Structure 1
Amino acid sequence: MNDLTGNPLFDTPVMRKLAALLETLKPSQRKVGEFILRNPLRAAMLSISEIGRESETSPAAVNRLGNRLGLNGFTGLRMALVNHLLAVVSPHLQLAATEMSPGNTLQGQLKQNLAEALQAGQHNGDQVFEAAVQALCEAERLFILGGSRCHPLAQVLEQHLVPYHPSCLAICLSAGLDSMAQRIAYVQPGDTLVVMSLPPYNRYAIHLAEMALDRGATVLALTDSPASPLAGTHVLYAPADKAQSGTGLGPAFAIVDALIAGVRKRLSVADDQALAQVQEALHAAQWPAIEAPANRAG
């Protein structure tokens, strides 16, 4: 199980216990548990039949999960969820409660994007984020792997970290499993592998993350919730529920952008000097400027 310490939305007794027991639950109970971990705010406000329907199980499965957690069935489970999450208000619910419907307007979509970014903030604590930034800054070599639809995020992260980390390399899944495995096989203690995978999870990305962990490398995982099979040394959560519009990558992109900003803030002084020297050398090597051709009459 990934360490949930420092994640305000998951670092509570009921969420920690649920995440710890998830692998041992029966299939129907596990589906209920995964639904709650992916929707910790909304689950606290649903009835037993609604949770059964949303998790594609049954009210009986929800009740059995409550008993398995030692909470005296659904009544105790719901009380535990409400007690631990009452103080947290979902940005999605705030948006839905307003009289202004997001619709398909530009302003509406921007409001939705803002709500999703705020929700990503609720899913991650400052302590975990700082540890992730530190892992990026202190890596001897940096590898980035974006599973399936997360590959564009890997390219963005690589593009913006290369000036600060010349060894940064984005690994493309389309190159084939053999090619990816060959690259990951050389990771070692001191290296950092960033792995991003959202539902539907890419099993190759998950296996390669496990390989890197086994080899002693630091793995920074970006996924949707503690229900994800992706494990890492440090884990950041980008909620990906059905209510999100567009690509559904908004929360994940917000976290990637925050990581880039965090690295820049830590490494900007030394690397800005190095970049200035490179730019000066390139400027000195430039060809004489070519004058623009004169306008031709007629």
Structure 2
Amino acid sequence: MSSPDPTLVNIGTHSLALYAHGPEPSSSQDPVVLFVCGIASSSLVWAAVRRLLPALLRSYTYDRSGCGNSEASPLTPTAENIALELSLLIEKAPIKNPLIIVGHSWAGVLVREFIARTGNGAQIAGLVFVDANQETSLQVLNVLDENLAAMSAGVDWLSAQGLRAEHRLTPQEWDAFLRDEATEKFKVQADREEDEYEASFPTLRSKQLGKRQPPVLGDKPVYVIGGMRSRDWSGLYRAGVERGNGTEEQRKCAREMISSADEKSKGLMEGHLKLSTKGKLVFARESGHFVQLTQPDLVVDGVNWVLDEIQTSS
């Protein structure tokens, strides 16, 4: 499935590329899906999920500032600024239907910043978190750990994590995804986002979204999918050992992190449920972090569950 031509939406400072998939909604009350990528990730990562969505469901992807067909932003890509630009994109496009927002990885932080900015308005119909970060993620499960970094230095992470072999994209979708992430424009913006990554967590933590009572989203449905981080880290560890990476102490520390990763991740995923009184948590037992690539059907299940809950409550 190829992406449609983008609509360039002027958000005041620059233009963002928005892609509409599927037919126009029959009613202004029909929910639509909006996909939000993790850090340094192409919007084409959602291709398999989009392909498997119900045929009559409208969905949107977009290129963040500086990526794909979008222009660079004059703003630093902090999570707060990315959430601001997302809210402006929705306003200026305009997308008026209620949104089921699907976010992966760092998009958990971005979506939570979007909620902090916009509140529990009619625009949000429900959420699907795909192995997504929240404000305490780095405190509990530090993906920036220097021992993990030492073990994975120089490793082809797509192969080590099994993504080259296990992804469910078509050959054309996979090639397009790799080409997009290989462009110099993408790499420059990825570096800029990565510079802002660590600081985004304490910034979000200060807003205490998960501690608000009643929950910030009321009874709007929140579906949470957890991946098996131990799968990814074990693959990176094995590939690192083959390269001779790491001291014995670094290897020991990495093994200890791997052994506790899934239990710690479970606690983090449960934290997303505190945003609403209506939630469901499932685990992608055959996937690592990129569930949308290896088990896209589970993400579609999440969207369908949210749709069913919306319909039931109405």
The structure that is strand-richer by fraction is: 2
Q: Give the TM-score normalised by structure 2.
A: 0.30
The structure that is helix-richer by fraction is: 1
Q: Which has the larger Rg? A: 1
If asked which structure has higher relative contact order (CA below 8 Å, sep 6+), I would say: 2
Q: Give the TM-score normalised by structure 1.
A: 0.31
